[in-house]
A and B are shown apart, each in its own frame.
Chain A
Amino acid sequence: MSATEPVIRAEGLAVAFNGRTIFKDVTFDVRRGEIFVILGGSGCGKSTLLKALIGLVPLAAGRAWLLGEELAAADDDARRALLRRIGVMWQSGALFGSMTLAENVELPIEEHTDLPRPAREALARAKLGLVGLGDATGRLPAEISGGMAKRAGIARAMALDPPLLFLDEPSAGLDPITSAGLDKLIRDIARDTGATFVVVTHELQSILAIGDRCIMLDKEAQGMIAEGDPRRLRDESTHPTVRAFFRREAA
């Protein structure tokens, strides 16, 4: 794919469960190197959209291209190669409970590369050091806090230096200080690595702190109601739901 081509292209995406439409006609592009935020109220389909983009939820309509490849149309080899180039941090961290943090990060490296064990271990430690968990490499997920689990989830998502990272609710359930620290971490990683981030969140502070551009989904509208710079949407949008969201008002 060319440097100017969007990292993600979504055209007319729709998802429905048991005949109930979650969203429809969702169309947007994500540009290389930006932090793109999918925002909206609870139950509007933010996380479902993320899962639809990475192929975990089937699309009822529309097409999506990641890094120039259409995941739904890819054969097994192309799909595996594409999945190697994306990283996902899950809302709960989704760390494997029987493995230490270092082993969690090492897992995709072992699966997708031929690096010898000392190299894998050092790389996993480096990734955990990058997210500030250098002193917790030997701990189990049950032994760390929620904020640390999110950081470890980011470290695992970054294990293979993917150019595209998806983060599902990275700051949900965290205190403001930890949340702000995580926002800074995401900003720093995006700046240092040049990776593109797609972040699903409804945390207003996070949206304004890290988002370069965003789309907003709405449960009532069953789709997108706004797109653009979150700060401009906050200041200039005339859409009542967008205004209510950014001003923290009851709809």
Chain B
Amino acid sequence: MTATTAARIEVRPAEGGVALAVAGRLDAASAARLWPEAMGAARQGPVTALDLTALEGLDSAGAVLLLKAAPDAEARGASATVAAELERTRKALATVPPPPPPPPFRPVSDIGRATVHRARASVAGIVFLGETIVTIARVLARPRLLRWSDLLRHLDEVGTRAFPLTLLLGFLIGVILAYQSSIPLRRFGAEVFVPNLVGISLLRELGPLLAGVVLAGRTGSAFAAELGTMTVNEEVDALRIMGIDPLAMLVMPRLVAATLVMPVLALLMNLAGLAGMTLIMSTLGYPWAAVESQLQQWLSLQDLIGGLFKAACFGMAIAAIGCRAGLSAGRGPRAVGDAATAAVVGGIVAIVAMDGVFAVLFFRLGI
């Protein structure tokens, strides 16, 4: 193999512009080094002549450099292989249309595009909601449409496997709430009311809400990823072609499982939180009897049932949003990730928004 020399460029004045003389071997490394010099020469004036007599060879990166610096120059002295590489790259670049010009008023077009996209997604969401309600009605009329084995599997995955995490989070939240609320209440000598505060917060609000966050993060994303992968792999299309309703087969078991399991998760969250609070109260010098007395006096069954009802609604919303995100996944591997993200974000936003509606509703109803 013959030794090659590193490429160099010489810029000479020429009639009507400048001339470039290139020597050595113009490979990717040389092209990277000489790119600023070559483009600088091209800016001085049009490159009207290209002397390649001393050019020992070039690869496609070198060819791109010459064609960018001197697109219209006549190449002189090129060897057959250099001329062939230049011609091949020139032809290849000629098949590539120039990039489209950026749209005018970019922010306006972006806002417009995002608005149209959001509107379409909203319409699709409403259609999905309608189809889901119709499917629920069909399943209620013909319960055998529901795949019971799938329901049991989802009850296990959504419910029993989430119990340890729910208990841990609930206990920690109870401990934190008890400690944090004891500090201001102690200043007023009202530390004994910590169980009232923590109990009401947990049963009415934090229990269902935090169980919902656990469900959205753990299960909503799993639903979206599983159904998204099935959509990407055209399994959902295969179901439709076989005359099987994907909503009945795929969505219903998940929806029912999440709806049934969420009150249980919220209840566990409540109990674990109360246990954590009781522990802290005992360290502050309040025996279990005092805590129990406060809870019995101030908490009602209505608080518990209201919270569990909210939890069931949250479960249904999270499952529906997760399933919808999966079934509407696009194509390609990125689609599954996008669907999982949409499920978690959509699920959490939905339960907080629903919680606001419930707060107003319960206030008006005096619950």
Chain A residues engaging chain B, CB cutoff 8 angstroms: 1-3, 97-98, 109, 112-116, 118-119, 122-123, 125-130, 132, 134-135, 137-138, 140-143, 160-161, 192
Interface contact A142-B331, CB-CB below 8 Å = yes
**A122, A127, A130, A141: which has the most chain B beta carbons within 10 Å?**
A122
Q: A97-B332, A97-B333 are in contact. Are A123 and B96 (CB under 8 A)?
A: no
| Interface stretch (choices B30-38, B121-129, B200-208) | B30-38
Chain B hits for A126, CB < 8 A: 60, 63-64, 89, 92-93, 96
Q: How far is the CA of A98 from the CA of B96 in the complex (A)?
A: 21
Contact A123 B61 (CB under 8 A): yes
Determine whether the beta carbon of B68 is less than 8 Å from that of A129: no
Tell me the total A-B contact number using a CB cutoff of 8 A: 92
Looking at the assembled complex, report how far the CB atom of B71 sits from the nearest CB atom of chain A, in whole angstroms: 11
Instruction: Flag whether B94 is at the interface (Cβ < 8 A).
Output: yes
In the complex, what distance in Å separates the CA atom of A119 from the CA atom of B33?
A: 11
Cβ of B147 within 8 Å of any chain A Cβ, yes or no, is: no
B23-64 vs A, CB cutoff 8 Å, 1 = contact: the mask equals 000001101110110000000000000000000000111011
- Set of chain B residues within 8 Å of A130, measured between Cβ atoms: 88-89, 92
Across the interface, do B91 and A119 meet the contact criterion of CB distance under 8 Å?
no
Measured CA separation A126–B86 after assembly (Å): 11
Question: Which of A3, A116, A128 lies in contact with B32, CB distance below 8 A?
Answer: A116
Q: A26 to chain B: closest CB distance in Å? A: 29
Enumerate chain B residues within 8 angstroms of A3, measured Cβ to Cβ. Answer: 1
Query: Considering the chains assembled together, what is the distance between the CA atoms of A127 and B88 in angstroms?
Result: 10
CB atoms of B1 and A119 under 8 A apart: no
- Smallest Cβ-Cβ distance to A115: which chain B residue: B32
Q: Report whether B60 and A161 are in contact in the complex, using a CB–CB cutoff of 8 Å.
A: yes
Name the one of A116, A132, A142 contacting B95, with C-beta atoms under 8 angstroms: A132
Asked whether, in the complex, the Cβ of B32 is within 8 Å of the Cβ of A113, the reply is: yes
Instruction: Give chain B's interface residues, CB within 8 Å of chain A.
Output: 1, 28-29, 31-33, 35-36, 59-61, 63-65, 67-68, 84, 88-89, 91-97, 99, 330-335
Q: Please, which residues of chain A bring their CB within 8 A of the CB of B61?
A: 109, 113, 115, 119, 123, 161
Is A115 in contact with B28, judged by CB distance below 8 angstroms? yes
Which of A118, A134, A161 is the one whose CB lies under 8 Å from B92?
A: A134
> Does B59 lie within 8 Å of A161, measured CB to CB?
yes
* Additional A-B contacts beyond A134-B97, A142-B331 (10; CB < 8 A): A97-B334, A118-B68, A119-B65, A126-B60, A126-B92, A129-B91, A129-B96, A142-B332, A142-B334, A161-B61
CA distance A128 to B97 in the complex (A): 12
Which residue on B lies nearest to A189, using beta carbons? B88
- Whether the Cβ atoms of A129 and B59 lie closer than 8 Å is no
- Minimum CB–CB distance for A194 against chain B, Å: 9
Q: Is the CB of A122 within 8 A of B1?
A: no
Residue of B nearest to A136 (CB): B96
A-B complex: 6 closest residue pairs judged by Cβ atoms:
A134-B95, A129-B92, A142-B332, A114-B32, A142-B331, A97-B332
Cα separation A118 to B39 with both chains bound (whole Å): 11
Taking a contact as CB atoms closer than 8 A, the residue among A112, A138, A161 that contacts B99 in the complex is A138
B94 surroundings in chain A (CB, below 8 A): 129, 134
Chain B residues with CB under 8 Å of A109's CB are 28, 61
Distance in angstroms between the alpha carbons of A109 and B331 in the assembled complex = 27
Q: Are A160 and B28 interface neighbours, CB within 8 A? A: yes
CB contact between B88 and one of A114, A142, A192 (< 8 Å): that residue: A192
A137 and B330 alpha carbons, distance in the complex (Å): 20
CB contact between A135 and one of B65, B95, B334 (< 8 Å): that residue: B95
A122 partner residues in chain B, CB cutoff 8 A? 64, 67-68, 93
